[in-house]
Each structure stands twice: as C-alpha cells, then as structure tokens.
Amino acid sequence: MSPPLLELRGLKTGFPTRAGEVKAVDDVSFTLKRGKVLGLVGESGSGKSVTGFSIMGLIEPPGRISGGQILFDGIDLAKLSREEMRSLRGRRIAMIFQDPMMTLNPVLRIDTQMIEAIAAHEKVSRAEARTRARDALAQVGIPSPEERLDAYPHQFSGGMRQRVAIAIALLNKPDLIVADEPTTALDVTIQAQILAEVQKLTTERGMALIWITHDLSVVSRLADDIAVMYAGRIVEYGTVADVIDRPLHHYTAGLIGSVPSRNKRGSRLAQIPGMTPSVLNLPEGCAFRTRCAHADAACEATPALVAQAGHLHRCFHPLREVAA
C-alpha cells in the first residue's frame, strides 16, 4: 500500500480572543491518498475552512496551529518556515477559493497573473510560461484561450472566472489541491461543468483533492471519503457509501435528513433544532448534545473518535452498531 500523500494528525488551530482562545479546529485527523477526493463537510463555523487554511499555511497571526502534525509526503507542514512553505505553496499544494473575484487581481491581465505564478517557482522563459498558461486555460475548458489570456478578470463571467482560478491552481501541476467552496456561488449548470472538469483532472492526473463544502449532495458524487465537521471536530469520517447510506452520528443523519430532495414532497423536513453553537462557549463534552435528541448524561464527557470497521464517528450513542 502506498503511503498517504497527506496525513493530518490531531491538528489544532486556535485564535486568541479577549474571551479566551477559540479552538476553530480541534483534534482533526484524516489521510488522503493520491488521486483521491476527500469531501470536508460542515456548516458555517464548523472549522472546515480553517482546516484548509491550516494545510495551506495561511493562518494569519495571532491565529496559530497549536498542536498536531500536517504530514505532506512525509514533511510536517506545521513545522516549515515561511520561506519553505512558500516554495511548496502554489507548486505542490494549491488552493481554490470560493470567490474568484477576491483572489484574482482586478487590475492585472490574466496572462500576467498566470505567468507570475509559474515564474515564482521555476526559471522559464516568458514565452514558455505563456504557452503553459494557455494550455492550462484550455484544459479547464475556456474557449479561445489564446485571446482570453489578454483579458482582465472583470471580462469573465462568474463560472469562467472560477475556471481561471482553477487553471492557476493547476499551473505547476500540484499533488494536492484544497478547494474551499469553489462552486457555491455558481449556477447549477455551471457548477456541473466545473465538477466535470475537476473530476476529469483528478482521475487523469492522479491529483489529490480536498473539497470543502456545506453541500453534501456535491461531495456525495465527487468524493471517495467524507469527513463531517461540527464545531471544530470531525464527528464522522468514512467512505461516501458509509457516511451517506449508513451514517452513525446523529448530526450527519440530521444533515442528510434536512436535504429537501431526500424527503417526500411537501412533508416536513427532519430539521435539527437550534443552531451551531459559538466555538467560544461550546457545551462541555459532545458539542452537538444540546441539539441532539439522543443526548443523555454520558454525553457530558467528550466522545473520542471511534472506529467501526474503518468508519469513524464521535458519538456515545451511534445510530447503529457495526460489527468490527
């Protein structure tokens, strides 16, 4: 068995505030192999984006990674200096953000931005870099890439802009891409186009992908594994089939039940009462227990991540017992 490309071991990321440290990510572990897709699912404030930013080394002080390891191809990213991380970022690990209008420089032409990204990591001639930029645009399905290189970001539609952002992420043929809600702002038909491109790229290139989203339906078709996060912790982690068809944690089951297309038309949706607690004052023990119908005294202790036949969950009263 090949070693995993990325392995997170007990990652903790915190932000100091006047009211104490906010544990945005608390003890998150997962592994990801080449060519595989991990869906990192959670609602706002669950810590899914901070996990992605931690991997990228983009946590701004005073926020810091306070514990755990991020092993990428055997190197602990959490221990790298800024310069070392910088040479890795954009070359071997790349990120795609939700809003391409925020990540693309509005006053520079696309070719300038793309050539810059190549030249930052390699000594290549301008002409060669431009050719590579053009090929990357063609690869993500942008029509007439040669002419589009001379365009500015505002001249692209939302879907095309996100394609440009993906093309930039692909420029240096990274081993790992962290995608943070890249299709959330797009229309369904455009989302399907982007997902089709991404799916093609992972299978053809053997690239590993972390797809961060709040939308279970997107990752259920795209990912191999799913990790569900709640209030900074992974509460359930397993293959797509395990997590979607046989959820163990009540939060996952609640999320799946909330999706309208899973319910009979016009029936009441199985809602989760209340809302995500603030990470500043989490309830003691299981963070979900205040919203959980099955919570009892046992839940006042913090549940550990337990494995049931390779399917991990963090619950004292899982929905079903699986023979180990």
Partner 1 sequence: MTLTSIAAMPQNAPSATPMMGAPIVELRGISRRFGKTPDLIDRAAISLGLAKPPPVVRAIDDVDLSIAKGEVVGLVGESGCGKSTLGRVVAGILPPSSGQVFWNGRAIDTLPAAERRAGALRTQMVFQNPFASINPRLPISEVVGEAPRIHGLIKGGRSAQAAYVDEQLRRAGLDPSLKERYVHQFSGGQRQRIGIARALAVQPDMLVCDEAVAALDVSIQAQILNLFMDLRETLDLTYLFISHDLGVVEHLSDRVAIMYLGRIIEEAPTEEIFGRPNHPYTQALLEEVPRIETTKRAFSSLKGELPSPLHPPSGCHFHPRCPHAFDRCKVERPALKTIASKHKSACHLNEQL
Could you give phi then psi for residue 206, rounded to 5 degrees? 70, 25
Closest CA to 78 of 58, 93, 61: 58
Label the pairing between strands 93-96 and 176-180: parallel
Residue (44 or 144) nearer to partner 1, CB: 44
- Binders of partner 1 among 256-315, rule CB under 8 A? 256-263, 265-266, 268-273, 275-276
**44 lies in the binding site for partner 1 (CB under 8 A):** yes
Residue (126 or 262) nearer to partner 1, CB: 262
Q: How far is the CB of 243 from partner 1 (least distance, A)?
A: 9
**322 lies in the binding site for partner 1 (CB under 8 A):** no
Cβ(45)–Cβ(276) below 8 Å? yes
Q: How far is the CB of 257 from partner 1 (least distance, A)?
A: 8
Residue (97 or 156) nearer to partner 1, CB: 156
Return d(Cα 115, Cα 125) in angstroms, integer: 10
Stretch that binds partner 1, among 62-70, 86-94, 98-106, 239-247 (CB under 8 A): 239-247
Cβ(231)–Cβ(57) below 8 Å? no
Residue (144 or 271) nearer to partner 1, CB: 271
- Binders of partner 1 among 203-232, rule CB under 8 A? 214-218, 220-222, 224
**245 lies in the binding site for partner 1 (CB under 8 A):** yes
How many residues interact with partner 1 (rule CB under 8 A)? 49
**38 lies in the binding site for partner 1 (CB under 8 A):** no
Residue type, 158: G
Could you give phi then psi for residue 314, rounded to 5 degrees? -125, 75
Number of residues in the chain: 324
Tokens 């002419």 belong to residue: 147
Residue (135 or 187) nearer to partner 1, CB: 187
Return d(Cα 33, Cα 242) in angstroms, integer: 18
Cβ(13)–Cβ(64) below 8 Å? yes
**188 lies in the binding site for partner 1 (CB under 8 A):** yes
What are the counts of helices (DSSP H) followed by strands (DSSP E) for the chain?
11, 12
For 80, the 3-state DSSP assignment is coil
Contacting residue, 160, 165, 177, 212, with partner 1 by CB under 8 A: 160
Interface contacts to partner 1, rule CB under 8 A: 43-44, 157-160, 187-193, 195-196, 199, 214-218, 220-222, 224, 240-241, 244-245, 254-263, 265-266, 268-273, 275-276
